[in-house]
Amino acid sequence: MLAASCMMYSCATKTGENPFLSEFQTPNGVPPFDQIKLEHYEPAFLKGIEEQNANIQAIIDNAEAPTFENVIVAFDNSSPIFDRVAGVFYNLTEAETNDQLSALEMKLAPIVSEHGDNISLNQALFRKIKAVYQQKDSLNLNREQERLLDKVYKDFVRSGANLDAEKQARLREINKQLSTLGITFGNNVLNENNEFKLYVEKEEDLAGLPEWFRQSAASEAKADGQESKWLFTLHNASRLPFLQYAANRPLREQIYKAYINRGNNKDKNDNQQVIADIVSLRLEKAKLLGFDCYSNFTLENKMAKDSKTVMEFLHNLWSYALPKAKAEAAELQKLMDKEGKGEKLEAWDWWYYTEKLRKEKYNLEEEDLKPYFKLENVREGAFTVANKLYGITLTKMEGVPVYHPDVEVFEVKDSDGSQLGIFYVDYFPRPGKRGGAWMSNYREQQGETRPLICNVCSFTKPVGDTPSLLTLDEVQTLFHEFGHALHGLLTKCQYKGTSGTNVVRDFVELPSQINEHWATEPEVLKMYAKHYQTGETIPDALIEKIQEQMTFNQGFMTTELLAAAILDMNLHNLTTTEGLDVMAYEKEAMDKLGLIPEIAPRYRTTYFNHIIGGYAAGYYSYLWANVLDNDAFEAFKEKGIFDQETAGLFRSNVLEKGDSEEPMTLYKNFRGAEPQLEAMLKNRGMK
């Protein structure tokens, strides 16, 4: 079979045909990145739209009585070409974009938006869906089928299917504008990231920076055509170590301010009006659909259900987090006072003095840990944990087409040898990649079709003979994103619309965040944390220090996360946007909370990419799911972190189920009860 697949693959390479227009003629149906060209995307999108329109017309024209099969399943399967091209295109616009791809994304956005509206506002199609929905109690559907039917029907209603013609026309216009504004916003942030370059020419300005980081900065400068200098950027892998170690306070201030003012410099990349327009249009859309504000519209189908529930949850956590953050600030100020310079703690000092305090309190520095966190070993650790929990194996594949040389590919198999999917990893920052880390897919799981999943991150690159050595935070990020990947890889659903990570936002972070817990368990650290030069296993003394400092700086981390979540909610709780000045509004909102000036929200309004994507009125999800993941991990701690029965329950009730059941039902099926807040507060050092 493999030989036949390879033959088909080589034949396809010789033809000039558009690879998106049929199933990929490759082993495992992976995207043929070596054949895909810029000129293939637009015709494939247009052909995909044409194909889906024809399939929808066939549903409408079907003379038989509407059934779950001939309406709902047919609709779920209506867009093969569109799904193929969109899966590749939208991953690349995030991970490996360029000017041509960005321009094409902007050109296609209104076309794709209009196509979505043409479907969701198609009255003949909606009548068929409604007919099935109205007889759902007599159809003998299983739970997953009920969920899919419910989801499809409600999505149409929430997309304006019940509105009159005039309101539908306005809704189309809003959606079209939002589609391009979102791209403009993201491109502006990417440009800001790429355009800031802090060149250091004097070696004395590098005081405090570790040798590996100096080498990395020299290598970056050289690659940018500036020999004998050091280059620092706004990418996490550059900015955070600089803030952590640089003794030069004015330079720390410069890089910090550049970061927190992205999109807010009154230049060509300014996002103030862009985000104001987005918030205004979202509010108008919510009101068209019968809601008082956008947050209540978007939360209606989430676990939280409404804005009031979310705000109460966030303000409750705030009452624990802010006092802890203030106590941490006071400790840092004492440390500064000891230096006798008469300086007051500022936001750009936080990382630097936190690192000094860590050393003083725990005799631990990030530099002590990094040699044990070689990227490949950490990844192997995450794979080993998955093997011990779920019996799965990941084997590196060679010769699979990739979109960039940094990308590696793994075949994922279950304990019985059956294939679960293909897994791509892309770990290093570059100009065409937006910052941060995420999981996505090139193909959804559906019935017998297994998924193609990717993790994209921005970790420190290898330099010379030194491999990529991760910080503890990056280690947890790798485990986090791999947790999302497991959710995508282990899913066992019949329908695309319910499979994998197609779950509500405030549940989707449970599989990722619970996976982080294993990263720092002593038993797991001994499995993967080996010194990159000597191969020595991380000593018990260091493991103890990691455990001791798990709640260290958690006031800061929880407060900056909460501030961003509350800012997101405030923007989307607005019931009028007349005269909205987003930065003035942000300041007012943060002042009202009592946020201390030494801490900024983790994301400020003008570079808050999450709320432009799927996390609008949803950034709280990380904290909501943090309650779930801490409570869930208690189940493992009670019986042993590799207890097979507990792992089996988590796999069968959460990882395999996708959106085939109510999230709280799935959680209770695993845990036996609703989650409690105590474990989260304890693990963040707030109780």
Q: Hey, what are 263's tokens?
A: 């999109």
Of 220, 328, 366, 481, the catalytic one is 481
563-566 contacts, C-beta under 8 A, 24 or more apart: 563/590, 563/593, 563/595, 563/599, 563/600, 563/601, 563/602, 564/601, 564/602, 564/603, 564/608, 564/619, 565/314, 565/619, 565/620, 565/622, 565/623, 566/311, 566/314, 566/315, 566/318, 566/593
Q: Which residues pair with 232 in a beta bridge?
A: 198
Burial label, 384 (beta-carbon count in 10 A; 0-12, 13-18, 19+): middle
d(CA 74, CA 59): 7
Phi, psi of 621 (to 5 degrees): -55, -35
Which among 550, 551, 680 has a CA at the least distance from the CA of 627? 680
* In the block, residue with structure tokens 């194909």: 51
Q: In whole angstroms, how far apart are CA 272 and each of 36, 295, 325, 556, 600?
A: 36, 20, 29, 26, 17
Q: Are 381 and 523 in contact (CB under 8 A)?
A: no
d(CA 409, CA 94): 18
Residue type, 366: E
Residue type, 295: S
| Dmax (CA) of the chain | 85
Which among 12, 30, 642 has a CA at the least distance from the CA of 397? 30
- 17 catalytic? Reply is no
Angle (CA) 65 66 70, round 5°: 115
Question: Which residues form the catalytic set?
Answer: 481
